[in-house]
Amino acid sequence: MNVYFRYAIKETLSNLWRNRMMTIAAVLTVAVSLSLAGSALLLKQGGAQASSEWQAGTRVTVWMKADASAGEINTVRTQLAAMPIVKSCTYFNQAQDYAQAKQLLPASEMNNLTVAEMPTSFRCIPTVPTDAITVQSTFMNQPGVYTVTDPQQQIRVMNHAIHILQVVLLALSAVLLISAAVLILNTIRMAIFARRREVSVMKLVGATNWFIRIPYITEGFVQGLIGSVIAVGIVTAVNVSHVLPGILQLSASDVWGTNVVILIAGAGLGSIGSAFAIRRFLDV
Q: In this predicted model, what pLDDT tens digit does every residue of 150-200 receive, in sequence order?
A: 877 677 777 777 788 878 888 888 888 888 888 888 888 877 777 777 767
Same domain, 168 and 210: yes
Q: How many other C-beta atoms are found inside a 10 Å radius of the C-beta of residue 39?
A: 23
CA distance 92 to 57: 18
Same domain, 49 and 165: yes
Taking alpha carbons only, the member of 49, 53, 45 closest to residue 258 is 45
Average pLDDT for residues 203-214, to the nearest whole number?
73
Same domain, 161 and 274: yes
Q: Which CATH number goes with the domain that contains 75?
A: 3.30.70.3040
Same domain, 197 and 268: yes
Same domain, 129 and 66: yes
CB 86 within 8 A of CB 126: yes
- Percentage of the chain modeled with pLDDT above 70: 89
pLDDT at 283: 65
pLDDT tens digits, one per residue of 112-144: 788 888 899 999 988 877 788 888 888 988 899
Same domain, 47 and 164: yes
CA distance 150 to 129: 10
Is the pTM for the entire model greater than 0.85? no
To 10 degrees, what angle do helices 209-240 and 20-56 make? 40
Same domain, 174 and 267: yes
Same domain, 171 and 43: yes
Average pLDDT for residues 29-38, to the nearest whole number?
88
Same domain, 41 and 168: yes
From residue 20, give the alpha-carbon distance in Å to each of 178, 184, 230, 232, 278.
Answer: 20, 12, 17, 22, 19
How many C-alpha atoms does 185 have within 13 Å on its Cβ side? 15
Same domain, 183 and 272: yes
pLDDT tens digits, one per residue of 211-254: 777 788 888 888 889 999 999 998 888 777 755 555 566 677 77
